[in-house]
Amino acid sequence: MLGGILAVILLVFVGTGAIPVVSAAYTFLAIPVHAVVNHYRKAAPYTPRVAIVIPAWNEGAVIGASIDRLMALEYPLESLRLYVVDDASTDDTPDVVRRKAKQYPGNVFHLRREKGGEGKAHTLNHGIRVVLEDDWMQALLVMDADVIYTPNSLRRMTRHLADPAVGAVSAYIREGSKDKNYLTRFIALEYVLSQPAARRAQNVLGAQACLAGGAQLHSRENLLAIGGQIDTSSLAEDTITTFETQLKGRTVVFEPLAVVLAEEPGSIDALWKQRLRWARGNVTVTSRYRNIWFRPSKDHKLGTISFGIVWFSLWLLPIAMVLSSIGLVGLLLLQSDLATVLFRALWITAACTFTFTLALAVQLDGELTRKTWREVLTFPGIISMLVMLTAFFPGLLLEWLPSLFGAQLTETGLFWITLSIYIWISVSMLGAWLARRIEKTRVGRVLSPALIYLVGYGSLLCAITFDSYIKELRHAEAKWDKTEKTGRVTA
């Protein structure tokens, strides 16, 4: 009796590991529907008066070029104003912005905050208060100081505001560093999967998870409806703004053809800090909106079953990985044949999903994925790919390879290899953690990239999310760590 109950619990654990895989498959299967279910029928040529608020702290190296590019957008200059909010910068940012204000009179404005370091949201709100003092602004664009908007990007975003039901529009943030390394190439591929892929699917589902922090356009009416300011109580102000827009009954649209180039972290440590901030912000969002999850509403689609599964599948993915490992190992120790069956089912499904999603990503941004072909091939991790092969062809690792070297596996050896395969999905996160620990050492310069290729970029992201669980349980201080930008982005 007790053994039967334990077996059922272990089966549930393994099933938990399948939920993120099925959720990803469901999401990506919705993407082709975007060709039919999209917002373009309600969009129209529309160029409202746009106020661009740019938070800037010590951005002297990039802010001048950013202003010049914005002034060169395919957009009527008389309908464009730039407000650079200088967050008590200690470099030459104020001087650069003042020079640009003289160069573009009536278009560029310098706003100074004497007290800085409070975070991006406070800086943005300083500019938003100024913008709302008169009636000139019809739409507000929030962006980062270092990003590059392609010439037609803003025009492609504003066309959606021709529909009064649309409250906000987001663009495709594309990794644009000119000196790419292995990590920025992985990030570039991740952004293809999470934006022109997953956010297209969210357009179809009718609920967007997050406006891109460096490319979010709001109608004046929407900005006022959500309180006339950006939330300052969490590290996920962009996600909260996205949720509030939809809860107020307005639509959020992702525009995949509006491309914005951004500089992303080039080291594991910098990426870890950035994504830890995002992950801890999502904890706040999940808790704050606990009353909407899985509660369908006629006013918005954030409470739909599909959106809830997508949200929690990503947020709780590391827990699902650990539970599935525990389930498989437990069934192995119970000497249940179900362990092998479930292992193969789980990994074959994962392999098919990975193949489909990566093939789709190649189609959505062929230019970028051609430059990241190594990362496309190794995105799940080389060892995980071997595990997938083992699921498809069990004799490959357990019979063919030993015989190739003239060896034969004993029953004990087979047990330990099987155990290693079953726990790999969880152990891979430790490999990613180790890659960060040794990155700054002499040997780490070579071993860290090799480890990420071995364990997979996804395992790195899961390790960061797992770290956010630990930080939350310890009630560690949640602070704003600005990602260092060096002007590496290029058009």
Looking at 279-293, 351-365, 405-419, which range is the least confident one?
A: 405-419
Residue 490 has pLDDT above 70, yes or no: no
Domain spans of the chain, in order of start? 2-23+311-473, 38-295
CB 423 within 8 Å of CB 329: yes
Total Cβ atoms within 10 A of residue 29: 15
- Nearest CA to 321 out of 428, 432, 417, 418 is that of 428
Cβ density class 204-242: b for 16+ within 10 Å, e for less:
bbbbbbbbbbbbbbbbbebbebbeebbbeebbbbbbbbb
Straight-line distance from the first to the last Cα atom of the chain, in angstroms, rounded to the nearest whole number: 66
H/E segment holding residue 105: none
* 68-86 per-position pLDDT tens digit: 999 999 999 999 999 999 8
* 401-412 per-position pLDDT tens digit: 666 666 666 777
pLDDT grade for 488, boundaries at 50, 70 and 90: low
Residue 141 has pLDDT above 60, yes or no: yes
pLDDT at 483: 56
pLDDT grade for 128, boundaries at 50, 70 and 90: very high
Both structure tokens of 419:
């155990």
Residue 485 has pLDDT above 60, yes or no: no
Total Cβ atoms within 10 A of residue 1: 5
H-only helix segments in 233-378: 237-247, 268-288, 305-315, 317-333, 338-364, 366-371, 373-378
* 185-220 per-position pLDDT tens digit: 999 999 999 999 999 999 999 999 998 888 999 999
Give whichever of 121-125, 145-149, 302-306 has the largest mean pLDDT. Answer: 302-306
The architecture that CATH gives domain 38-295 is Alpha-Beta Complex (3.90)
- Nearest CA to 82 out of 103, 99, 101, 95 is that of 101
* 450-482 per-position pLDDT tens digit: 999 999 999 999 999 999 999 999 888 776 555
Q: How far apart are CA 62 and CA 485, in angstroms?
A: 9
- Tell which phi-psi region holds residue 294, choosing left (phi > 0), alpha (psi between -120 and 50) or beta: left
Per-residue pLDDT, averaged over 32-36, amounts to 91
What is the model's pTM? 0.91
Q: How far apart are CA 202 and CA 195, in angstroms?
A: 10
Beta strands in 190-263 (DSSP E): 215-219, 251-262
Residues 6+ apart with CB under 8 A from 4: none
Cβ density class 66-80: b for 16+ within 10 Å, e for less:
bbebbbebebeeeeb
Per-residue pLDDT, averaged over 44-64, amounts to 90
CB 271 within 8 Å of CB 184: no
Angle among Cα 200, 206, 207 to the nearest 5 degrees reads 85
Residues 6+ apart with CB under 8 A from 333: none
Q: How far apart are CA 259 and CA 73, in angstroms?
A: 12
pLDDT at 459: 96
pLDDT at 120: 82
Residue 259 has pLDDT above 80, yes or no: yes
Which has more confidence, 105 or 119? Answer: 105
Q: How far apart are CA 47 and CA 24, in angstroms?
A: 36
